[in-house]
Amino acid sequence: MAFDSQTAVETRSLSEKSYFAVWRWHFYAGLYVVPFFLMLAITGLTMMLITQVSGRDGETIRVTQGEAALSITQLSEAALEAVPGTVTEWIGPKAPDLATVIRVKTEAGQRMVAMNQYTGEVISSWDRRAGWYDFADNIHSELMIGTIGDRLIEISAGLGLVLVLTGLYLWWPRGGDTSVLVPNFKARGRALWKSLHSVVGFWISLVLVTFLVSGLAWAGIWGGKFVQAWSSFPAAKWDNVPLSDSIHASMNHGSTNDVPWALEQTPMPASGSDAGLTGIPAETAVNIDSVVILGRLLGMDGRFRVAYPRGDDGVWTINRDSMSGDSNDPFVDRTIHIDQHTGKILADVKYEDYSWMGKAMAVSIPLHMGLMGPVSFVFNLLFCLLVIFVCVSGIVMWLKRRPSQAGRLAAPPAPTDMPLWKGAALICVVTSIAVPMLGLTLLAVLAFDVLIIGNIPAVKRAFS
C-alpha cells in the first residue's frame, strides 16, 4: 500500500509538471496569436457580411427581366462607351433578374461595369478590388504590408495549431471531472471564465484547425513553396498541348485569388496549334458570344465567367468556381481553356481531376469563406463570434490572474525540471520540418529564452 501511495504521488507530480509546462506554452503562444485571431475573425466576419449584402463583383445587382438579352458583343461595346479601355472578363448572372458584369482594363486599373443585359444600360461601375470587402481582405491576407504581413500571419496560423493542441491538453478532464463538455455556470469569477473559455475552445477546435490549415495553404511558404507545389494539377494532363510561360496565378489580382487553388501553379495552355478537342465549329467565329454558347453547351449554367485571351498565345478561359461565389457547390467547379484561333478545347478540368489535397482545398476554401449557402454563412458567422469570445475570455482570465500593478506578464510558472522533454523536442523537430515558419519561430523563441531571458534578470522578471 505504501508503494502504491508513493507511486501515486510521483505520478501526480509528473502530471502537474506536464500541465504547467503545457500551460506555459499555451500562454506564450496566445500572446502572439490572440491579436491575429481577433483580426482574422473580425475581417472574416466583415467580408462575409459584405458578400451577403452587396457581393464582391456586382452579383447582387438586380434588373427587370426582359424578353431577350442582347449579345455579349453589344453589351461589351456599351460598356466601353461608358468606360473606355479593353474588355478582359465577362461575368454572367446567377439568375435572369440579376445584372451581367463586364470587367474593363483601363489606364487607371480594372473597372467593373454592371449592365442590364436586356437594354444595354450601364447601371454602375466601380474599381475592382477597391471596396470595403477588398480593404478587409487585404488586411486578412497580408496586413496591407505585402510579404512581411503574409509571413506574420503564417506564423500566427502555425502557432495557432500549437495553441489548439495545448488547449485541448489543458481541457482534458482530470480527477473525475465529467462536466467538461458544458460550461459550469455555477462557477464565479475567473473559474467561470476558464470554464467558458475551455469548453467553447473545445467545441470550435476541429473547425479552427480546418480553417488554419486551409489558411496556411494560401500562405507563401508552407502553401506556396511546399503543399501547393506538390498538390498542383500536373500540366502533363494537358495531353501535349503547347504551354504558356504564364501560370494560372497570373489571372489573380492583388491579394484576391480568382482561380482554383489546385491550378494556381500550373502553366496555362497556349493558343496557336492544331491541338485540342473540337469545341467551337470551324465555320463559326471564335468570339465572346460563341465561347459563352460553348460553355453553356458544356454544362455551364447560372453564373460563370469568361476571361479574354492575353496576347497572341493567350486562351479564352471559362471558369465556374465556388471560391468566387459562382455557385454554392464546390463539386461542380470547372475550368475550361479554349484556343483563341481555332476554338478547340485545350483543357477541361473538373473537381474530380484534382489531387486529394486540391479536392480538400476546393471544399475548405468556400467553407472557410461562408460561400456554401445560407447554412454555411450562419455557421461561419457563429464561428467567428466564438473565436472572438475565446480570445477575449483568454485576455480576461489573464487580467484576473495577473497581480495588479505587477509590471510583468505573470506567465504560468515553469516547472523546476521539464517532464518528457525528449518527446517534446522530437515533436518540435517534426513540426519545424513540416511547417518551416513555425519551426523558425520556435527556434527564435528558444534562443530568446536561453540567451536573453536566462541572462538578463530584468527581462526574466518581465516575462515571468
* pLDDT value, residue 252: 65
Q: Considering just the CA atoms, what is the radius of gyration of the chain in Å?
A: 27
Select from 278, 281, 272 the least CA-distant residue to 241. 272
Position 98 scores a pLDDT of 94
Instruction: Return the pLDDT at 9.
Output: 39
Among left, alpha and beta (phi > 0; psi -120 to 50; other), residue 369 is alpha
Instruction: Annotate 144-153 with b (16+ C-beta within 10 A) or e (fewer).
Output: eeeeebbbeb
Return d(Cα 58, Cα 309) in angstroms, integer: 23
Query: d(Cα 51, Cα 45) in Å, to the nearest integer?
Result: 10
For each successive 10 residues of the chain (464 residues), what is the average pLDDT? Answer: 42 67 86 95 94 85 92 96 94 94 92 95 88 88 88 90 88 70 87 93 93 85 76 72 81 65 86 91 94 95 92 92 88 94 93 89 89 92 96 93 73 66 60 72 74 71 68
263: nearest Cα among 348, 390, 151 = 348
Report whether 104 contacts 80 (CB < 8 A): yes
Cα 120 to Cα 78: distance, rounded to the nearest angstrom? 6
- Sign of the torsion formed by the C-alpha atoms of 188, 171, 438 and 141: negative
Q: What is the pLDDT of residue 355?
A: 87
Distance in angstroms (rounded) separating the CA atoms of residues 3 and 6: 5
Q: Specify the pLDDT at position 10.
A: 44
The predicted pLDDT at position 254 comes to 52
Listed by start position, the domains of the chain span 11-51+146-220+376-462, 72-127, 233-354
The region, left, alpha or beta by phi > 0 then psi within -120 to 50, assigned to residue 240 is: left
Assign 18 to helix, strand or coil: helix
Which pLDDT value is given to residue 116?
96
What count of Cα atoms within 13 Å lies in the side-chain half-sphere of residue 28? 18
Query: Which has the closest alpha carbon to 211: 41, 463, 414, 358?
Result: 41
Fold entry, domain 72-127: Nuclear Transport Factor 2; Chain: A, (3.10.450)
Per-residue pLDDT at 431: 65
